[in-house]
Amino acid sequence: MQTIQPAAPTGSKERPKPFFTHLYFQVLVAIVLGGAIGHYYPEVGQALKPLGDAFIKLVKMVIAPVIFLTVVTGIAGLRDLEKVGRVALKALIYFLVFSTLALVVGLIVANVVQPGAGMNIDPATLKAGKVAEYAAKAHDQSVVGFLMNIIPNTVVSAFAEGEILQVLLISLLFGLSLTLVGDPAKPVVDFLEVVAQAFFKFVHIVMKAAPIGAFGAFAFTIGKYGLGSVANLALLVGTFYLTSALFVVVVLGAVGLVNGFSILSLIRYLKAELLLVLGTSSSEAALPSLIEKLEKAGCPKSVVGLVVPLGYSFNLDGTNIYMTLAALFIAQATGVHLSWEQQALLLGVAMLSSKGAAGVTGAGFITLAATLSVVPSVPVAGMALILGVDRFMSECRALTNFIGNAVAAIVVSRWERGLDGAALKAALHPNKAPPSGGGPVPDPARP
């Protein structure tokens, strides 16, 4: 006689997955193993570089279509052109305020800690050969050149070259065009919605290789540059990491509290992506996952699709902290005294030159070269002092930039009264029961 098993009680929770199946754990283990191999077997570590490069290429391959599909379907779903402009304007205002604040924080910390004081290095003795390569790239970093580069040569070239802002421009124009067409464009929008779902499944498949990519990239970093290079400039590296951590916890933490969420909970929610950024030194590696997770956390697709891609060029908090801190370190190390007026000029130039930086490895160093080339008081050759540790600081830059863009998307979503409070709490506090009701978070301080 067959025994009938009792049905599982309604509302019972699924059994949690074993910890070793989570992406964040696998990436963490990969980073540790990569660091160990790079330290003990430097040549092997350097030989593993193609693993990291291949993974980043895989992710970059999917970034352009993900941005296009997210922005187009988000705007077409709004059917409100005024709201699109309002979201973009609020995002840019937010970016301007907090990017400038990050520059100021770096400037203040450099003056208080003075990590380069007492080094008394003669710029003429520095080997600036490697710096020349970055200085040459920085020569093209003008405001006009940056704005012209937003316009692609062709629609196809923007996708082929993977230029985020060019893809964003095309996406905005195409999304607006579908909105103007109206109801006849609905089949196209529905089709793009399905394609978007397929591409996010594509992202899930690619992310399975994240531990391998992080392993290869971190093994290369440690193998090529070594932990010893950090020891020589430990005060600068430590100051930068501590300043960035304080900016995230204090400044962005305060922004989170005002807008109804905890920055620590957000970091915990994005831990897998943050570990991936740490392992690859590139915030672009986690861009598609960030878009998907922010949507799951209650941010409207239309807001996420605009704010996140824009933030990758205009909201680089970590890069900005690095630029003023590193510039003053070089001045202090080479015995150059900068008056407050000269420091204000440095800050203004850095604010402009940082807007063209993308969230990729080495961009911060290039924009630093662009800034110093306009402020002749600080020798560009002094960048040779920090070339050896720049790779280690690029990881912190990318992490801070990534967190800053996640916060920006949530804040702008709330300003637009589109943030789903229940979804946000469920995402950031998965072990707590979701509140009844849900819906957008009321915003009494909406600008």
Distance CA 290, CA 292 (A): 5
* Total structural domains within the chain: 1
- What confidence score (pLDDT) does residue 424 get? 92
Residue 30, domain CATH = 1.10.3860.10
Is residue 434 included in any domain, yes or no?
no
What is the domain extent for residue 318? 22-428
Buried-exposed string 204-241: b where 16+ CB fall within 10 A, e elsewhere: eebbeebbbbbbbbbbbbbbbbeeebbeebeebbebbb
Is residue 330 included in any domain, yes or no?
yes
Series of mean pLDDT values for 10-residue runs along the chain (447 residues)? 46 60 80 88 89 84 85 76 81 90 91 81 60 51 64 85 82 87 86 88 85 87 75 82 94 94 93 86 81 91 85 84 88 83 82 57 65 74 75 85 93 90 89 53 43
Is residue 9 included in any domain, yes or no?
no
Is residue 381 included in any domain, yes or no?
yes
Is residue 79 included in any domain, yes or no?
yes
- What confidence score (pLDDT) does residue 102 get? 92
Is residue 445 included in any domain, yes or no?
no
Is residue 12 included in any domain, yes or no?
no
Is residue 346 included in any domain, yes or no?
yes
